[in-house]
Amino acid sequence: MIAPTMIRQIGASTQSFTVRFPKLTRLVAMQQQQNDKVVSSASGGPIEPRNAKVIETALQRLNLRVLENADSGVAQPQTAQSGRRVYVARHAERVDFTFGSWVPYSFNDAGEYVRKDLNMPKSLPPRSPNIWQQDTPLTNLGCYQARLTGEAMKEAGVRIDHVFCSPAFRCVQTAASIIEGLGLRESLPIRIEPGLLEWLTWYPAGIPTYLSNDELTSAGINAAKNYTPLTSVEDLKQSMKESFEAFCSRNAELSKQLIKATEGNILIVGHAATLETCTSAFVHPDIPLTRDLLKRILKFSYCSIVMMESVDGSWKMTRPPCAPFTNSKNDRFDWKDLS
């Protein structure tokens, strides 16, 4: 058992601590056993544990290493760029992954949305509850994550000329919030590109009916009304049984077309896998994407962002313009527990 105070000091969960620092974990466990058997000294106070100094020294070194690792992930303000830049971001925190099966208790018998938690949206565009089950919105924290990301990008001097986004509402909301943080809400419309949708196998009930550009506009989102996507939803419906390799190729080819058809810097907002499927073909052209990606994306947190830059005619992955957004698990409070 790892001392809770130690976990708080390094900001890690017990499980992740055990995996990352097995030797220190064993030392703490031994110390815990000694503490359980502690006897009183002649003065009535506890005997000083023999390993206390060892643990204190180890913690000091560990804290320093954690801070060093954290510093290495914080981007500095970007210098004058030498080539085009493509930023690829995952959507922010989604309602269904946070609250589980949220639709049954969030809509009344008339099909009207009723907010049941402060982290749920205050309101939602009018839509069938069944569709919301398939096309979840962001939580309020998710919108904040994305806006904060945009603000950090602005502080880092990021310039965005084009925004392309998966039609999933959580992705559209993320793109809109990032743009808001960048201060470009009115001047930079979002181009909805269905080809950026995640693997179609994850939609056994069929592709959801996504909000139209007019509906998005009514919801306060600056969606490009005159944009003709390179891949339509109807095109996707013809490929519902696509293989994982076909999905990776779809995203890769689309990103190539988007870069070829535009000038300037691009922001692509999609899903967890998008971070790799839209960049791998550029920075690792000889390494085919495999199903190992399904394991790797578990480490891609909400609002993760990657950046690749064109240098001397070739693309390379470089440090993102802003730090990641990390938050802890927060159990739901029920006042009735105290009644």
Which has the closest alpha carbon to 27: 8, 1, 60?
1
Residues 25 and 172 in one domain: no
Residues 13 and 143 in one domain: no
Q: Please report whether residue 78 resides in a domain.
A: no
pLDDT in tens, 257-272: 999 999 999 999 999 9
Residue 33: what pLDDT?
Answer: 56
Which band of pLDDT confidence, cut at 50, 70 and 90, is reported for residue 298? confident
Residue 284: what pLDDT?
Answer: 79
Residues 167 and 297 in one domain: yes
Residues 6 and 146 in one domain: no
pLDDT surpassing 90 at residue 227: yes
- Residues sharing a CB contact under 8 Å with residue 124, sequence separation 6 or more, in sequence order: 113, 132, 137
Residue 45: what pLDDT?
Answer: 47
Number of C-beta neighbours around residue 214 at 10 A: 10
Residue 156: what pLDDT?
Answer: 97
Residue 332: what pLDDT?
Answer: 85
- Helices and strands of the chain, counted as H and E runs: 15, 6
pLDDT surpassing 50 at residue 313: yes
| Domain housing 303 | 85-100+136-318
28-57: average pLDDT:
50
pLDDT in tens, 231-255: 999 999 999 999 988 999 999 999 9
Would you state the structure tokens that stand for residue 170, as one six-digit string?
Answer: 């959580």
**Of 55-69, 169-183, 290-304, which range is least confident?**
55-69
Residue 224: what pLDDT?
Answer: 96
Residues 95 and 2 in one domain: no
Number of C-beta neighbours around residue 147 at 10 A: 20
Residue 126: what pLDDT?
Answer: 93
Phi then psi for residue 239, to 5 deg, are -130, 35
Q: Please report whether residue 234 resides in a domain.
A: yes
Residue 261: what pLDDT?
Answer: 95
d(CA 228, CA 232): 8
d(CA 269, CA 178): 10
Q: Please report whether residue 52 resides in a domain.
A: no
Longest dimension (CA), the chain: 84
Q: Please report whether residue 286 resides in a domain.
A: yes
Q: Please report whether residue 222 resides in a domain.
A: yes
Q: Mind giving me the DSSP string for 181-240?
A: HHT-TTT--EEE-GGG---GGG-TT----PPPHHHHHHTT--B-TT---SS-HHHHHTTT
Residue 92: what pLDDT?
Answer: 98
Residue 53: what pLDDT?
Answer: 59
Q: Which residues are catalytic?
A: 90-91, 271
Q: What percent of the chain has pLDDT over 90?
A: 64
Q: Please report whether residue 129 resides in a domain.
A: no
Which band of pLDDT confidence, cut at 50, 70 and 90, is reported for residue 78? low
pLDDT surpassing 90 at residue 4: no
Q: Please report whether residue 272 resides in a domain.
A: yes
Residues 27 and 150 in one domain: no
Q: Are 55 and 28 in contact (CB under 8 A)?
A: yes
pLDDT in tens, 97-152: 999 999 999 999 999 999 999 999 999 999 999 999 999 999 999 999 999 999 99
pLDDT surpassing 60 at residue 25: no
Would you state the structure tokens that stand for residue 309, as one six-digit string?
Answer: 């830059």
Q: Please report whether residue 57 resides in a domain.
A: no
Q: What is the pTM of this model?
A: 0.78
